[in-house]
A and B are shown apart, each in its own frame.
Chain A
Amino acid sequence: MSRTLKRQVPIVAALCLFFLFGLLIVPSFALSGPEAQSKAWQGVDEAVVGRIAREQGREPRPPLVRTDMGDLPLFAFLAAGAIGGFAAGYWWRVLLERRKR
């Protein structure tokens, strides 16, 4: 990669992030009512799978282990991300270390 191109990479990345951020804000302003806001950024599996199941007369049941209340999802997802991230990093390092040896 040439030096000029290398210098341009952070600028292009910053512009992309700025553009993405702008696009992300658009629906937040467009959705004004409380009902619309509650549906904003809903997971597609819930928005599609859940909605169609209800339309067809099947109500999704709560999961067996309830980690979907209050701050529990935040904890569960952060813990899962931390543990998963550590495991992925550990195995990646093992893979690359083996090559060096």
Chain B
Amino acid sequence: MTAFSRRRFIAALLFGCALLLGQPQAARAMHISEGVLPFGWVLLWFCLAVPFLALGLRRLKEASKTDLSYKPLAGFMAAAIFIISCIPVPVPVVGSCAHPCGTAISAILLGPAASVVVAAVALMIQALFLAHGGLSTLGANIVSMGVAGSFTGFVVFKLLRSCGARLAVAGFAAGVAADWATYLTTSLIMALALKGSTPFTPLFLKISAAFVPTQIPLGIVEGAMTAGVVVLLARKRPDLLVKMRVLKANEASL
């Protein structure tokens, strides 16, 4: 590309961005929307998210050095989480839509810290280009979907596996737990930031209860999805699951 055409390309890109930014209309945001949290809370959630992101980046770097399959798996999970957390699933009877998170799958396969990075990338692209969440609420959304979802899903999966639960059962429970933990954390973040002079507990319960009709069925869908992906990978690439410490070597050979 010549210097002139590059300049023309950049000018066209800037013009396009200006057009996108300049149009006034109501936002249809998902996750915690732009502008909902006061500045102090925005800062706090960003500060809480940063150490997890740093840990995740370190884990991604170290694991991809030693394992050639780790990068393709991380790429697959990033794309999968991005798509999964974009899909508004209609919940019958309730008459509203909710999106799954997909963080349980990535936490089981990549580890919870790397899963936070993958979720953060998905959330940032959604906030920038899909009017889905917000840049000011990115830290809070990373904490609720990335940190709470990934770590809860991972802990539940490991606990159940250590108790001898089957892969599908542990995957299902991890998916359900990750989804519900995400929405409980969102309720917590909202209640802490918006309570003002009112007491915290009633507002927290009110927000959590508002999520219940959609998140109970959606959590079950997420559980089924998590179990499906884990079982499919166990059939197609059991060696990969052994490397990721999801399966033991003797289980993979069965």
Contacts and interface: CB of A to CB of B under 8 A. Distances in A.
Interface of A: 20, 23-24, 26-27, 30-31, 40-53, 56-69, 72-73, 76-77, 80-81, 84-85, 87-88, 90-92, 94-96, 98-99
Contacts of A48: 207, 210-211
Given A62-B27, A91-B72, A43 B130 contact: no
Contacts of B86: 77, 80-81, 84
6 contacts: A27-B95, A31-B95, A59-B35, A60-B27, A65-B129, A67-B131
How extensive is the interface on chain B, given as a class? 35 or more
A44 B190 CA distance: 14
A45 B31 contact: yes
Contact of B128 (A53, A64, A87): A64
A61 B28 CA distance: 10
Overall SS of chain A's interface: helix
Interface string B27-60: 1111111111110000000000000000000000
A44 B82 contact: no
Contacts, number: 196
A43 B36 contact: no
Contact of B130 (A24, A40, A80): A80
B97 A43 contact: yes
A15 B147 CA distance: 38
Nearest to A25: B92
B28 A41 contact: no
